[in-house]
Structure 1
Amino acid sequence: MTDFLKLRKSAPDGFFATEAAGLRWLAEPGVIPVVDVIDHGADFLRLRRLGESGPSADAAAAFGRDLARLHDAGAPGFGWSPAPQSFFGPLDNPFEVPAESVDDFTDYWVEQRLRPLVTAVAGDLTGADRATVASAIDAIASGAFAGICSEGEEASARVHGDLWAGNLMWTPDGVTLIDPAAHGGHRLEDLALLALFGTPFLEEVFSGYEQAHPMPVGWQEDLPAHSFFALLAHIRLFGRGFLGQTVRAARSIIARAEHLDR
């Protein structure tokens, strides 16, 4: 078979059109392998079938270099989507997120992504946990994470948006992107998700990335602020099992913001 069919009869309106647009937008610069879109409709997405190979250090380093080039291709603004809508989450239970394009990362991250999710998961947060999460969002709202290690404000990058290890395909042609939530965002969004749940040869990915786009010393300490949306989204999607990890990340964000403010 030469194709792969994603099918969901009750998909939200525009879901598969948004994914197709995201894949094409990520492929547009021609700097990283992206699965080919063959066709899509209201309840399906037909993709070119990929051959699989095992992870390797060399492929991981090459992927890191390619990912940096993808990010450097840029986007019109933070929160910008290549389709009229934007979604996050698995095929069987995605939720819509704003697709408004703004110039400021902090405004986008706090007002479009984090605060709406906190409202959505309010019933899963109690007492001290709610206060800790709120303090972490306030730390991000201060602007501490608009750059990297407080070094200038980042321009909007062309990001995959849901780049955990399950959305990478290790193929004979290199690591290939699938299942995006593509948008204009901060480059650390993708790097944070690669780190959040573990990715094979992660250090090689990061090393390859820095070969193509040098990063300031200590940049990985900023990652919790950029995985915070995904953690809150996992509470919304899968329940309180992710609460402990989210609160630990919130504490790291607060401590990091205090350090950067010194």
Structure 2
Amino acid sequence: MKDHHGLARKLEEAIRAHVGNDFHLDSTSPERAEGSGKIVLAGDGKRFFVKYGKSGALDRFSAEADGLVALRDADCFRTPATIDCSGDDEHAWIILEHLELHPVRTLAEGRLAAEALANLHAHQSDAFGWHRDNYIGNTPQQNDHSGNWSRFFALQRLKPQFEFAARTEFGGELAKLGQKIIDRTPALFLDYRARPSLVHGDLWHGNIAITNDGHVASFDPAIHFGDHEVDLAMTELFGGLPDTFYATYRALWPLAEGHAERKTLYNLYHILNHLNLFGRGYLGQATRMAKQLSSMLSR
């Protein structure tokens, strides 16, 4: 943790408060990702996964803990227990149970993952949104309740991302395309009625895995009630899952006509977020997807 010796001691104290005073920190194994630190703490045969950042990150960690509770209560995935989520004037942190995991890679694991996701989506509400705003990665995500999914997605997902891009260096053509897409998004939902399903919200293949004892695990949620297709779309964005995952999910929950067009819309949100978080390397992909959607919406 470089010079964060004081933070390590605070994390040790927080763990002791929850698991007992016999815990003594033996080692740390740090990583860096998405602007916050990630570290595995080990001591007395126990391991914990910790995310930490500046004090302002506490709301983000609190939202993550809230999402993990929702996933756990749905009883579809194995999720890491939250040991502590707090901070001080300088730092914030979330301490999680450390799970031994491997990627979803076999045909059987693909089927198990699809069954878990379909069961999650079977939890439904009477409105889209969530009881609090949360985050997609490090980016704030609005969740005001709405009875209109296309309006919710256009105004609370796409619009903030396009506006953030325009405020930086990514306006111009992308901003013009964005306004057209926001205005015309309802056209993609004329013959499709989305239901408010409990969705993970950030389900790329790195956020779903298999525990060493064979359970499907999930973590890092951007939880809310939304169209179940948003999760399925994102699993295809950065590499995908075994073919049996998609075949099993479709057998359990057949996809409606127009899914391919909606998939482009839903994944544009994540590419815009990556553009806003990580920069110009995603501009070409974001612009191509926006042009594709604009062309669809002009027909």
**Would you say 1:205 and 2:248 are equivalent positions?**
no
Instruction: Indicate how the Cα distance of structure 1 residues 114 and 200 shifts in structure 2: closer, same or farther if over 3 A, else same.
Output: same
Whichever of the two has the greater Rg, that structure is 2
C-alpha distance in 2 between matches for 1:23 and 1:45: 12
C-alpha distance in 2 between matches for 1:45 and 1:198: 28
RCO higher in 1 or 2 (8 Å CA, sep ≥ 6)?
1
Count of paired positions: 247
**Would you say 1:183 and 2:257 are equivalent positions?**
no
C-alpha distance in 1 between matches for 2:115 and 2:211: 16
Uncovered stretches (5+) of structure 1, i.e. residues with no partner: none
C-alpha distance in 2 between matches for 1:157 and 1:145: 19
**Would you say 1:235 and 2:284 are equivalent positions?**
no
The equivalent residue for 2:52 is 7
The equivalent residue for 1:133 is 178
The alignment partner of 2:128 has SS state of: coil
The alignment partner of 2:84 has SS state of: strand
The CA deviation at 1:226 is 0.9
C-alpha distance in 2 between matches for 1:5 and 1:67: 26
CA contact (8 A) 1:65 1:211 kept: no
**Would you say 1:51 and 2:92 are equivalent positions?**
no
CA contact (8 A) 1:139 1:253 kept: no
The CA deviation at 1:13 is 4.0
2:180 corresponds to which letter in structure 1? Answer: S
* Higher deviation after alignment, 53-62 or 104-113: 53-62
The CA deviation at 1:182 is 0.9
The CA deviation at 1:169 is 2.6
Name the TM-score, length of structure 2 as normaliser: 0.75
The alignment partner of 1:77 has SS state of: coil
Percent of counterpart pairs with the same letter?
28
CA contact (8 A) 1:87 1:97 kept: yes
Over aligned residues, Cα RMSD in angstroms? Answer: 2.2
The alignment partner of 2:201 has SS state of: coil
2:220 corresponds to which letter in structure 1? Answer: D
CA contact (8 A) 2:129 2:224 kept: yes
Instruction: Indicate how the Cα distance of structure 1 residues 135 and 51 shifts in structure 2: closer, same or farther if over 3 A, else same.
Output: same
Uncovered stretches (5+) of structure 2, i.e. residues with no partner: 1-45
CA contact (8 A) 1:69 1:212 kept: no
The equivalent residue for 2:286 is 246
The alignment partner of 1:137 has SS state of: helix
The equivalent residue for 2:139 is 95
Which residue, 78, 88, 94 being the options, matches 2:128? Answer: 78
The equivalent residue for 1:65 is 115
The alignment partner of 1:116 has SS state of: helix
C-alpha distance in 2 between matches for 1:118 and 1:129: 8
